[in-house]
Structure 1
Amino acid sequence: MKKILFSILALSLSLVASAQQSWSNDPMHSRLGFVVKHLTISEISGQFSNFTVKVKTTKPDFMDMKVSVVAKTASISTGVEMRDNHLKTADFFDVEKYPELTFESTSLKKISDKKFALKGNLTLHGVTKVVTLNVTYFGTVVNPMNQKSTSGFHITATVKRSDFGIGPKFPEAVVSDVIRIVADAEFSKE
């Protein structure tokens, strides 16, 4: 009896493992961006141009997806070289000491048909905090260029730079403490 139960359990686990699909972001059609207020009167946007996202799921609607993000902090770009160079220093991201930011999802909650709350651990500037990402799933199509299944998502969230020890010398009146994360991603099945 034990052998039969063990065999059923092993077969069940192998079926689950074989059904798991891996997806990677398409760098040419993905963006990991942010928006921050400057002097309380304008918004400055930027992005990390060097990042990878891996998604693992067993369901076509992504309801059990696990997400892993790694971005190189030195790839920060706001379109102004002098500002970008300053953001890379110890005043802000300290890219030599903290070369990567990471996100590892821990749970997913369905909000509506195409909207989800993706909770996970964001590690930035040597500090890890739990954050919730608002995810909108745009759907899945077959990309005519490579014949791969491709899915699209829009992601937003807010974080406080003070929670991660970024830019402590700069008051709210100069650089907002609240940073809006705005990302778009296309994922192709591996």
Structure 2
Amino acid sequence: MKKITLIAAFVLGSMALFAQTAWKNDKAHSHLKFTITHLAVSDVDGLFKDFDATIVSAKPDFSDAKFTLTAKVASINTENSMRDNHLQSAEFFDAANNPNITFVSTGLKKVAAGKYKLMGNLTMHGITKPVTFDLWYRGTITNPMSKSDDAGFKISGTVKRSDFKLGDKYPNAVISDEVVIAADGEFAKS
């Protein structure tokens, strides 16, 4: 009997030790934006209006967090419908055949208090490439409205559109190869 009690205590203790918490982005307080340079003289901003992101973590500082994101290509918005339709075409994202952009984290490296390098696989236009973003964990608070915990994150970095064969026929002088990514998210425990 003593042996069974010890085994049960060990199993329950192990489960508590490895218990993970899932977090989901609050769509009203989360944004996924990008900036690209046009003709080397002006920046064009855009965003994806429809995306879901989740975080799974067992540690309160999120140092073991796993991030996933799925954005609908059809939700791209640059405040110009002709450009948005062009970006959804086969020349760029090919939304008909590749309706989603996905990111799945593969690692997290702490560089300072609340600052990390977030590594993962980004899939766009049917092509998956490893990428690294800067991640800032802005803290966790108790939301005064919902009375539940909310955590804030800011992600930034640059990807090359040529890595994903987006707009191959457009040279860097027309549309910059480097695309700046900026995401800001508020996540609630799910």
TM-score, normalization by structure 2? 0.93
Matches within 5 A, 1:157-172: 157-172=157-172
For residues 58-77 of structure 1, what are the alpha-carbon distances to aligned partners after superposition, in whole Å with 9 as ceiling and x for unaligned? 11110100001011111100
5+ long unaligned stretches in structure 2: none
Q: 1:139 to 1:6 in 2, by over 3 A?
A: same
Instruction: Tell me the equivalent position of 1:81.
Output: 81
| Secondary structure of the corresponding residue to residue 98 of structure 1 | coil
Alpha-carbon distance between aligned partners in 2 of 1:123 and 1:8, rounded to the nearest angstrom: 43
Residue 142 of structure 1 corresponds to which residue in structure 2?
Answer: 142
Aligned-residue RMSD, C-alpha: 1.7
**CA displacement, residues 48-94 of structure 1 (integer Å, 9 cap, x when unaligned):** 11000010001111010000101111110001111101111011111
**Aligned-residue identity in percent:** 47
Partner of 1:14: 15
For these two proteins, the number of residue pairs brought into alignment is: 188
1:179 is displaced (CA, Å) by 0.4
**Residues in 1 aligned to 2:48 and 2:83: alpha-carbon distance in whole angstroms:** 14
Change (3 A) 1:36 1:59: same
Q: Give 2:31's aligned residue.
A: 31
C-alpha displacement at 1:24, in angstroms? 0.3
Report the equivalent of 2:114: 114
1-structure distance, mates of 2:125, 2:49? 18
2:45 corresponds to? 45
Post-superposition shift, 1:106? 0.7
Alignment of 1:50-69 (within 5 A): 50-69=50-69
Counterparts of 1:173 and 1:8, CA distance in 2: 65
TM-score, length basis structure 1 = 0.93
SS of structure 2 residue aligned to 1:92: coil
Measure, in 1, the Cα distance between the counterparts of 2:124 and 2:10. Answer: 40
Q: 2-side partners of 1:98 and 1:182: how far apart?
A: 22
SS at structure 2 position matched to 1:109: strand
Aligned to 1:174: 174
- Residue 137 (structure 1) shift: 1.3
CA distance in 2, matches of 1:125, 1:4: 54
